Structure 1
Amino acid sequence: METGTAPSFEALFGHPPSVVAHAPGRVNLIGEHTDYNGGFVLPMAIPQRTHVELRPRKDRTVRAFSATVGSQGGVQEFVLGQQAPGRGWLDYVQGVTLVLQREGFSFDGFDVRISSEVPVGSGLSSSAALDVCLLRALREAFSLQLEDVRLALLGQKVENDFVGAPVGVMDPMACHLADGGSALFLDTRSMSFERVSLPAGVEPIVINSGVAHNHAAGDYRTRRAECERAAALLGVPQLRDLTEADLPRVAALPDPLGRRARHVVSEDARVLATVTALRTGDLAALGPLLYASHVSQRDDYEVSVPQIDLLVELARGEPDVLGARLTGGGFGGSIVALARTGTGAAVAQRIARAYSARSGHSATVLVP
């Protein structure tokens, strides 16, 4: 979150910005750990956004300031062509510029001020929002010929190739193309997508557990490698190529590969069922799908933690909550729930208060 006392762009660099860009964080309604397996996801944008103010320079120097870090971080600098990882938040700026250069885009240095309302480590794509926001600003500032899907794919390359986080394509696609009024039904293999409206009777809830995660850490990388190993043993390019009819074969894999693959195959099916329920307004079907997704993440994929399980348990005790689940990569972060329209704010506050009393962690209601 922004410090509130951070200096303005003009105070930092001596001139006003020429380009201002924004990108939202995202919450994934369902479809977790399916994107790097070529499967289906269903994210939507959240109100919290990342903001970039930028002005081109006439040399090769990039000067960057993060209001999230605050004044104590100061203005950081690097020279285009001399990017080197290991500089914390600046790696996202360096990564964006290096990926663009490797893709053949030509641009000069720039001054940039970054601020964000998306909480870091919350499972809501704070890093993808930054990548997308900066790519949008550079596209405008330097008139780069960069269409939308390619922009999202470059955001993924920043994370994979420079930052060292083996994330899938869902996060940058959602931060770039999703909105708050509908869910983005995305096929991560074909990159085809459509927006699916939420029924009038439900509204989303997002609660941050206060337990931060890190996609560049080992557990996320391990899960991805386990999925690749399972696909190889089953003789398919990706787990996306399996259906629920293949679950007996999946069950024969050595543990934990069978459970990992079972989560992905069943989660893809749950995404498709959720899309059908949204289109038909079948509210009764939504809750069991979300709860089943959480159980699968907890038991088969083993990416939940006790604090997240407690939030889901508390949500299950609320009569106006249809369903709830861990959202994001796991090992902390946030839950998403669907509540009956008009009840979300009160329900979310009750869950957050009960959670804080029982867990010792401070929960934050982000939506509504």
Structure 2
Amino acid sequence: MSPSFQDLFGHPPEVEAEAPGRVNLIGEHTDYNGGYVLPMAIPQQTQVALRRRADKRVRAFSVNTSRSGEILEYELGQESVGKHWLDYVKGVTQVLQREGHALTGFEIWISSEVPLGSGLSSSASLDVAILRALRELFSLPVEDVPLAILGQKVENDFVGAPVGIMDPMAVHLADQGMALFLDTRLMRFERVPLPRALDPIVINSGVAHNHAAGDYRVRRAECEQAAALLGVQQLRDLSTVDLLRAEKLPAPLGQRVRHVVTENARVLAAVQALRSEELDRLGNLFYASHDSQRRDYEVSVPEIDLLVDIAKEDADVYGARLTGGGFGGSVVMLAKAGTGSDAAARIAEIYAKRSGQRPSVLVPQAHS
């Protein structure tokens, strides 16, 4: 059994907080292009417990990654990147202090159910849980949207992962069973209920990714280059009538533009389909999104494609697609109500046999 906060630090915590992982239903690689996204929260949570100290020392323990009883430490104001889970704690304290928020040292205990490298925002879940706890512990005057922006700054400015605003916004503001329709340029959001006729499914492929690595960064740079060549601030400013112009760009920039422009349109169509409960249409949008990620954005991998293909063969599944940044991670699916658990188990079993990977069904959660 993992040690508790009391076991490690000799006294109880003052504050406890948590934040969920998220699954993006549709709208991939659109957030850093100023576009639309449609995520929702998942049951898996990151939990933190904190107690303030009188000095500037931060002492941190992670149930998931620390060796037994191993407490890592650093001084406030002396944060440096170490390519380690502690970077997320350091990043939060550095960003808060740069924004003018006064902190003292603290002790922190961390535990997460959100699998790493799964495309389900494990890092944003950690950032937001820590930010929520520190906001309460030190009575920081930080509203909800600014808190999410701080979470993005931790990833971009300290950790070095060029992620968009969707992950911290979804982790902080989304709910289970409720999609968060977010305009990432205007930072406007609306909660859209999922029809009761749907069972969401999330299956982790077993192939991990790393957003701080090169491929994700390359895609973002390609989008910025394409926008500059087309004379717009962001690819959000383009519509389908601009695709002929985009096709004349040097390869592969035209493909990247086509994905972003058509994906934005698919998000808007998906919101309409949710509201009108057009489930077959919604499923087709999922498959079209996956094809676009595979062909135009080139962020899928064979294992993910296999998982989607197996889902397509299942009579209870309306649609399936890669979710998250890509290059591994998870697939999100929509199944007929009441069939989600059985369909997920079937699909995961077939996938394991064909791929040799060890998938895990994250949604719906198995009942113990």
CA separation in 1, counterparts of 2:68 and 2:277? 50
Q: Could you tell me how far 1:44 is from its partner in structure 2?
A: 0.1
C-alpha distance in 2 between matches for 1:160 and 1:73: 30
Matched with 2:136 is 140
**Residue 345 of structure 1: aligned partner:** 341
Map 1:39-118; keep pairs closer than 5 Å. Answer: 39-72=35-68, 74-118=70-114
Instruction: Identify unmatched segments of 5+ residues in structure 2.
Output: none
How far does the alpha carbon of each residue in 1:316-343 deviate from its partner, in whole angstroms, 9 at most, with x for none?
0001100000000000000000000000
Q: Secondary structure at the match of 2:171?
A: helix
Does the aligned pair in 2 maintain the 1:7–1:71 contact within 8 Å?
A: no
Is the aligned partner of 1:233 residue 2:229? yes
Aligned residue number for residue 281 of structure 2: 285
SS in 1 for 2:38: strand
1:32 pairs with 24, 28, 31, which one? 28
Q: Secondary structure at the match of 1:267?
A: helix
Which amino acid in structure 1 is aligned with residue 282 of structure 2?
L
What is the one-letter code of the residue matched to 2:340?
G
User: Normalized against structure 2, the TM-score is what?
Assistant: 0.98
Structure 1 position 6, deviation (Å): 1.7
| Distance in 2, Cα, partners of 1:201 & 1:266 | 27
Amino acid at match of 1:351: I
Q: Which amino acid aligns with 2:263?
A: E
Q: CA deviation at 1:289?
A: 0.3
SS in 2 for 1:140: helix
The match for 2:311 is: 315
Q: SS in structure 2 opposite 1:112?
A: strand
Match of 2:205 among 194, 206, 209: 209
Query: What is the total number of aligned residue pairs between the two structures?
Result: 364
Rounded Cα–Cα distance in structure 2 between residues aligned with 1:230 and 1:298: 19
Contact 1:159-1:165 at 8 Å conserved across structures? yes
The answer on whether the counterparts of 1:149 and 1:173 sit within 8 Å (CA) in structure 2 is yes
- 1:113-262 superposed matches below 5 A: 113-262=109-258
Partners in 2 of 1:181 and 1:361 — Cα distance? 29
Q: Distance in 1 between matches of 2:89 and 2:280?
A: 44
Give the aligned CA root-mean-square deviation in angstroms. 0.7
2:227, 2:234 within 8 Å by CA — same for their partners in 1?
Answer: yes
Distance 2:360 2:119 in 1: 13
Identity %: 70
How far 1:70 sits from its partner (Å)?
A: 3.5
Paired position in structure 1 for 2:18: 22
Report the alpha carbon displacement of residue 253 of structure 1 after superposing the two structures with TM. Answer: 1.2
Letter matched to residue 106 of structure 2: F
SS at structure 2 position matched to 1:71: coil
Structure 2 distance, partners of 1:229, 1:70, is: 41
Contact 2:3 2:69 (C-alpha < 8 Å) held by counterparts = no
Contact (CA 8 Å) 1:66, 1:73: kept in 2 or not? no
1:71 CA drift (Å): 2.9
In 2, are the aligned partners of 1:6 and 1:71 still within 8 Å (CA)?
Answer: no
Give, in whole Å, the separation in 2 of the partners of 1:34 and 1:363.
27
C-alpha separation in 2, matches of 1:218 and 1:284: 36
Partner Cα distance (2:91, 2:250) in 1: 38
CA distance in 2, matches of 1:335, 1:181: 17
| Structure 1 residues 75-127: Cα deviation after superposition (integer angstroms, max 9, x where no partner) | 00000000000140000000000000000000111000000000000000000
Residues 8, 69 of structure 2: 8 Å contact kept? no
What SS does structure 1 have at the residue aligned with 2:40? Answer: strand
